[in-house]
Amino acid sequence: MNPELLFVNQHSSPKYPPRTYYNAKSSDVTLALAVDLTTRGEKLTHKAAGEKYLGFQLTDEIKTTAITRELYRKLRSTNGRKLNVAGNGIYTLSKHNRNQVFVNQFTYEIIAQVHNILPLERIFTGGQTGFDIAGAVAGYALGIPTEVTLPHGYIQRFENGADVVQTQEQIIKQIQGGALALTPYMPVN
């Protein structure tokens, strides 16, 4: 875990859509993980990423290996090495009994498996709670340069649905703490 590979920025706009477009346009593939792919945020992510979008609805049956296979295929078919990680925020996930620790580990396992066979050059994420911040946690833990771009004010939305102004330092601490809590991925040879 190298802090010099973690870039936490705020967009010039305090709204969510501009940073969504920035992250989607900066990457080769956008991986969207959600319990609900029909939220306004998920529809916007799909629109912003266009053909580069790869979305998965999480169910109790879906396994990280199935997502890993499809993500690997998508990256390989586009010769992509830059991944945008998006998905539901914790305010949506918590209604489906998913907490940040679970989401961090789930995302980490997917990215670790892909990175093990197809090294990623960069991770992009919008820094929102839930799957965005989990993408940053995974990238940081795996030593992949990770760029987190939040709305101006480092705004995040938590379980109660309220937007909270954060500091860059608070976001960095979330990412570092999340990475330290992960169960390390052990590739099968």
Per-residue pLDDT tens over the stretch 23-73: 999 999 999 999 999 999 999 999 999 999 999 999 888 888 999 999 999
Picking from 147, 181, 156, 62, the residue whose alpha carbon sits closest to that of residue 110 is 62
Residue 44 pLDDT = 96
Confirm if 95 and 34 have CB atoms less than 8 A apart: no
All structural domains of the chain, each given as residue ranges with its CATH number in brackets, are 3-180 (3.40.50)
Per-residue pLDDT tens over the stretch 140-189: 999 999 999 999 999 999 999 899 999 999 999 999 999 999 988 766 54
Task: Give this prediction's pTM.
Answer: 0.94
Residue 79 pLDDT = 94
Residues 6 or more apart whose CB falls under 8 angstroms from that of 117 comprise 72
Count of beta carbons in the 10 Å neighbourhood of residue 170: 14
Tokens of 150: 């939040």
Backbone angles phi, psi at 146, to 5 degrees: -130, 125
Confirm if 159 and 90 have CB atoms less than 8 A apart: yes
Q: Distances from the Cα of 148 to the Cαs of 37, 74, 185, in angstroms?
A: 22, 22, 23
Residue 188 pLDDT = 57
Stated as kind and residue range, the H or E segment containing 164 is: strand 163-164
| Cα 18 from Cα 187, distance rounded (Å) | 37
Q: Distances from the Cα of 123 to the Cαs of 5, 72, 96, 134, in angstroms?
A: 10, 15, 26, 11
Q: Is the dihedral of CA 89, 91, 93, 94 positive or negative?
A: positive
Confirm if 113 and 187 have CB atoms less than 8 A apart: yes
Burial profile 63-94: b = 16 or more Cβ within 10 angstroms, e = fewer: ebeebbeebeebbeeeebbbbbbbbbbbbbbb
